[in-house]
Chain A
């Protein structure tokens, strides 16, 4: 971890209340990092979906299990990881919620929303074998700096 990277780690209970808590913590960090309101909303919502996934599918609402969330502010990115104590999964196993035959499904849109709201999203295997969701957003100044360097 670079010297100018800040990181917090939170252990959440497998409870419905943890969903709101994780969202609220992340939104505060995103606000402090200087993201505009709409981006703060998107980051919060992506994290919300990540914790819902851990609560429902990873830990299967088992209160004995924990959800680990970390938020890292690096010089150019905000990286959120949500790790559950389930069995893990591959993104390729998940049906495409945009496919015509899946539009009337009542679940299966959470991963899609995480991908839509963050700049980068991937699913890895956590240290204990569960899913580790990695969500990355470029910090606002990175976007504006990129704009300055665009050729005229």
Chain B
């Protein structure tokens, strides 16, 4: 299934609910476009809700890292919420858990921004 992202706002935090696969091609491109548009629009607090994403490949992982550095370079923060087991495992074996702030509850994710 192609990746789809729906953006909603809680206070000054943008939450994007993604569903589908984040893989080479369309999925990675959708993720990149969504995060870049938010960052370029001045959004500093971004949460990617990945509860409906159960597949990510190396290209998708690269795109998550790219989104993280894009937002950070613009002075913001990007966090991950509700990882499925497969995405969780991939981030664990690639040591990206040490890079991303991963949250398991939406309210806590929103409150965790400075």
Contacts and interface: CB of A to CB of B under 8 A. Distances in A.
Interface in A28-67: 41, 45, 48-49, 52
A19 B61 contact: no
B95 A110 contact: no
Contact of B58 (A16, A41, A104, A109): A109
A108 to B, nearest CB: 8
B44 to A, nearest CB: 19
A113 B24 contact: no
Given A48-B57, A52-B58, A103 B95 contact: yes
Interface string B24-35: 110000000000
Contacts of A106: 62-63, 65-66, 69
Nearest to B59: A52
Chain B: interface size category: 20 to 34
Interface residues of A, number: 19
A103 B24 CA distance: 19
A97 B90 CA distance: 13
A112 B61 CA distance: 13
A105 interface: yes
Nearest to A116: B93
A4 interface: no
B95 A52 contact: no
A103 to B, nearest CB: 5
B63 A112 contact: no
Nearest to A103: B99
Contact of A49 (B57, B63, B65, B86): B57
Nearest to A114: B58
Given A41-B86, A52-B57, A107 B62 contact: yes
Contacts of B61: 109
Interface of B: 23-25, 57-59, 61-63, 65-66, 68-69, 86, 90, 93-96, 98-99
Given A45-B57, A48-B57, 19 more contacts: A19-B23, A41-B86, A48-B23, A49-B57, A49-B58, A103-B65, A104-B65, A104-B69, A104-B99, A106-B63, A106-B66, A106-B69, A107-B58, A109-B61, A109-B62, A113-B57, A113-B93, A113-B94, A116-B93
